[in-house]
Chain A
Amino acid sequence: MQHTFASSEGPVEVTLARDGEAFVLEGQRLLQHNRGRLHLTLRDGRTCLAHAAKVGDVWWVHLNGRTYKWERIEPGSSGAEDEGGLVAPMPGKVLEVLVAQGDVVEAGTPLMVLEAMKMEHRIVAASDGKVVAVHYAAGDQVAQGAVLLDLE
């Protein structure tokens, strides 16, 4: 009952303990009721019902009005990290390319303007760097997750 999940600070190893029918982790307990209903007892003694659904490798969990996403890393997968490229957050069309290869940019510099869902969205440099490659031109359609530019 060991699983690995992805987090912003790297992979998280989870080892569930059993207590009768219940699963236990860090002082919190989960009991499955019938039909997949998950009943939780939190560390502070409160109880709540959780809803969970898996989409791709990601478990979406709703409890206490909050929704969390935990991506499961399948055993044996390489756990690929992002290569630092800037990716399209959704499918859309490139309206404008604001930088060229070789440009040195500061964090926060707008790099590209995308149109999706009838609105304009700016793709902004997350950190200081140099534009190594621009993969799309104005007018191009891009798919979600497409690498738009490479920064170094």
Chain B
Amino acid sequence: MANRGEIACRILRACKEAGHPTVAICAPNDAGSLFTEMADQVVMLKGETIAETYLDQQQIIQAALDTGATAIHPGFGFLSERAEFATAVQSAGLTWIGPSAMAIEKMGDKMTARQTMRAAGVPVIPGEEVEEVDEGMALEALRQAAERVGYPLLLKASSGGGGKGMRAVHDPADFDSAAAGARREAVAAFGDGRIYIERLLSGSKHVEIQVLADQHGRTVHLGERECSVQRRHQKVFEEAPGPTMTEALREAMGQAAVAAAEAVNYVGAGTVEFLLAPTGEFFFLEMNTRIQVEHPVTELVTGVDIVREQLRIANGEPMSCGPLMIRGHAIEVRLYAEDAASGFLPSIGPLAVFRPPEGPGIRLDTGVREGDDVTPNYDPMLAKLIVWAPSRPEALEKMRRALDEFVVLGTTTNIEFLRDLCDAGPVVAGSTTTTTIEELWPNGWNPPADAMLEEAALLAAASAETLGLHRVRTRISSDLTDGPASPFTTLNRRFP
């Protein structure tokens, strides 16, 4: 398992269900993390930075060979879309759970992907690719391309993803600093500063199609996910099916996605992302050649276990899923350790209390548990909360209830923001677009004021202090000086 956190837990569980013994790798600052407890074996990596650990291809392959592993699952992020890693894994005699290095390469370089899709007849967003590598020449070429593409526009890193190396530019006056910033972020994150320009299609929906392809020549799509609601170009609210999707459009987009996959002889699970314009036209954005963060909503409405299918496909078996059937509605929200009221700035701290909601139709994919610390070392996503219900309105009702029930104390999270989002007009109506959050809260989001609840919280704080609730159990545990602390005595412990 060449990954960590939430997605490592998800995949290790699937392996356990399939009867495959597992090996986790773990950076020293990840020792004791939840995912390390789910694997049959753990290999502690040497090094401190991400580059020295989860991105160190040699070390990871060596760990696989040393433990007798036969396959590597890369999860998402980290090395999942590095073609040279896929090649290195296979050269070492291991099975790569993912598409071929060639497919990753063609789709991973976003500029090449746009060219490949154009050739395959899949519509792409109007824009220009700039191949210049030299900083000064690239900036000049970008400036000229920007004039031809027109404003507003998006700058995107050719090796990019997850909003890194991406900038929206509305005013030509901001172009130079935005281009320099995008290049710098791209060089830092991917070691590749090449940038391309796309026209910014405002009012569009972000709709993506899940595809699966096995080694027996079968490529299918599992319908769409709508992921329009984004902040800082990162998704926070995803659903399936798309609230405005029609059978005819699903069929057309599904066919385009299958064509995109077949154009690169795709094998495994992948996602073809499209922008759906208000006119009903759709444009290829990019293909993610890996399992996707938001895959659970597709799993809940199709009944297909995408990770299990990945394992089957990599093992040379035909995929097990039958004809596409979509049932009910699923919504996922991403819980981040971040301060939504301060421009979504990441936050850190202890998870003094971490109590997820429960009940029918609720799924939680997380890599943390109560007592863990949120550090600045990794992505601030704490968990994915996913609900399923027979209809979209019921799914939203369930999500509201689930978010109200979710207690996280000790670290600031975006739970209240997500809860507020569930009441927002465009979300209720299903008319969200990629600019919904900025339009709803042009001056930034703030929690709705409620003097009564704030005073009630003050009453609770003062009462808890008077009752000495922060002391009760720590005193018990400090009395028991010998042996490890019982989990009962460390409940409600005071941090730090």
Contacts and interface: CB of A to CB of B under 8 A. Distances in A.
B461 A61 contact: yes
Interface stretch (B56-64, B319-327, B446-454): B446-454
Contacts of A1: 462, 466
| Residue with the highest number of chain A CB atoms closer than 10 Å, among B346, B457, B470 | B457
A52 interface: yes
B462 A14 contact: yes
B415 interface: yes
Contacts of A48: 456
* Interface residue range, chain B: 35 or more
Nearest to B337: A117
B423 to A, nearest CB: 11
Nearest to A26: B455
Contact of A36 (B342, B352, B376, B469): B469
A80 interface: no
Interface stretch (B100-108, B180-188, B193-201, B300-308): B180-188
Given A89-B345, A120-B181, A68 B453 contact: yes
Contacts of A44: 452
Nearest to B473: A36
A25 B466 contact: no
Contact of A25 (B164, B415, B455): B455
Contacts of B350: 55
Nearest to A95: B184
B1 to A, nearest CB: 21
Interface in B165-222: 181, 184-185, 188-189
A66 B453 contact: yes
Contacts of B495: 53-56
Nearest to A2: B462
Interface string A29-58: 010100010101011100010111111100
Interface string A1-44: 10101000000101010000001011010101000101010111
B352 to A, nearest CB: 4
B459 A118 contact: no
A5 B492 CA distance: 21
A5 B352 contact: no
Given A60-B352, A95-B184, A16 B347 contact: no
Interface in B315-367: 342, 345-350, 352-353, 355
A95 B232 CA distance: 19
Contacts, number: 172
Given A51-B353, A55-B352, A40 B456 contact: yes
Given A59-B465, A117-B346, A50 B376 contact: no
A3 B462 CA distance: 6
B463 A90 contact: no
A59 to B, nearest CB: 4
A77 to B, nearest CB: 14
A28 B451 CA distance: 12
A144 B375 CA distance: 11
A135 interface: no
A121 B410 contact: no
Nearest to B467: A32
Interface in A64-78: 64-68, 70, 72
B461 A62 contact: no
A133 to B, nearest CB: 24
A150 interface: no
Interface in B429-476: 447, 450, 452-467, 469-470, 472
A14 B415 contact: no
Contact of A59 (B342, B349, B378, B461): B461
Contact of B346 (A62, A66, A90): A90
A107 interface: no
Contacts of A52: 409, 460-461, 464, 469
A65 B494 contact: no
Contact of A66 (B410, B416, B467, B494): B416
Given A32-B467, A117-B346, A118-B189, A51 B409 contact: yes
Contact of A28 (B164, B410, B450, B456): B456
B340 to A, nearest CB: 12
Nearest to B450: A66
A66 B415 CA distance: 9
A90 B347 contact: yes
A61 B185 CA distance: 38
Interface of A: 1, 3, 5, 12, 14, 16, 23, 25-26, 28, 30, 32, 36, 38, 40, 42-44, 48, 50-56, 59-68, 70, 72, 89-92, 95, 115-121, 144
5 contacts: A53-B352, A53-B410, A60-B352, A63-B453, A120-B181
Given A25-B462, A64-B453, A144-B376, 15 more contacts: A3-B465, A14-B458, A16-B459, A30-B459, A40-B460, A50-B460, A53-B495, A54-B470, A55-B409, A55-B410, A62-B353, A64-B404, A65-B403, A89-B342, A119-B346
Nearest 9 A/B pairs, CB to CB? A65-B404, A68-B457, A59-B461, A60-B409, A54-B470, A53-B352, A61-B457, A70-B461, A25-B459
